[in-house]
Amino acid sequence: MGSKLGWLKLPLYGALLFLYLPIAVLIFMSFNESDAPFTWTGFSTRWYGELISSPEILTGFRNTLIVAIAATIIAVVLGTLLAVGLARYQRSAALEAIALTPAIFPDLALAIGLLTLFTNLNYALGLDSVIISHALFCAAFVTAIVRGRLHQIDSSLEQAAADLGDTAVGAFFRITLPSIKPALIAGALLSFTLSLDEFVIAFFTNGPSTPTLPIVIYSMVRFGVSPEINALATLVLLTSALIIIIAQRNLKVKDQI
C-alpha cells in the first residue's frame, strides 16, 4: 500500500524544491566573483569583504542589534508575566486570545495600527518606537511558549512552597522561574530572530535617520540585486537558522530531562 501511494510524496518534494532551491542559489551566488549577481565567473569571498567596509550596512546592523536585544528583553519580561497570569491566576479564553492576537495578526495591519498610535500620541519615530513595536509583537510568542511550559509543571509545587511560608514572589523565583527556564531561552531566541528579520513593522514605525538592516536591504534591492546583497542575505539567513536550531535543541533536551 505504501509503495502504491509513493507518488503522493511528489507534491511535498516539489514544494520543498520550490522553497529551498532559490535559497540555495542565493547562497551559491554570494561567492560569485562577477559583479553580475547571476552570472558565474569564479569563486570569491569578495562580497563578504565589501559588507565589512560598507558604513550603511554597518549602521543598519548596529541599529538592528540594538532593537533586537532591547525588544527581546522587554518581550521576555512582559510575555512571561502575561503567561503566568493566564496560566495561574486568570484562566480566560478571551484574554488568552487577546494576548496571542499579535502573533497571528497581519503584520501590515499591526504596523499601520502602531503607526497611527504613535502619530496620535505625537511620539517621534525612531529606534525606541521600533523597540516598543517589536517588543509587543514578540511578547505574544513568548507568552505562547511559556504558557505551554507552565501547563506541564505541577502547580502543587508552588502551593507546597506557599504552605511552607514562602511568598508568591519567592515561590515564583525559586520554583516557577527555574522550571520555565527552557521556555524563556527559546522565547528569547525566537524573539531575537523575529526582530532581527522583521521589516514591515520596522518600516512603518521607524524614522528616516535610523534604518534597520532589513530596511537597508530593501533600499539596496530597489536599485537591483547585487552579489553584495546575496552575501548579506546569506549571513542573515544563516544567523536566523542557527538561532532557531539552538532554541529547538534547547527545548528538546530540557523536555527529555
Tens-place pLDDT, residues 231-256: 888 888 888 788 777 767 765 655 55
Kindly list the structural domains of the chain, giving each domain's residue range(s) and its CATH number in brackets, ordered by start: 46-256 (1.10.3720.10)
Does the pLDDT of residue 51 top 90, yes or no?
no
Range list of H helices, 30-155: 46-52, 55-84, 93-104, 107-120, 127-150
| Cell representation of residue 171 | 515561590
Instruction: Look at residue 122 and tell me whether its pLDDT is greater than 80.
Output: yes
Q: Residue 93 CB: number of other CB atoms within 10 A?
A: 8
pLDDT exceeds cutoff 60 at 257:
no
Residue 230 in 3-state DSSP? helix
pLDDT of residue 15: 85
The string of DSSP letters for 157-209 reads HHHHHHHTT--HHHHIIIIIHHHTHHHHHHHHHHHHHHHHH--HHHHHHS-TT
138 pLDDT band (50/70/90 cuts)? very high
| Tens-digit pLDDT profile for residues 163-172 | 677 777 777 7
For 64-73, 86-95, 105-114, which range has the lowest pLDDT when averaged over its residues?
A: 86-95
Which residue type does 48 have? Y
- Per the listing, cell 516598543 goes with 132
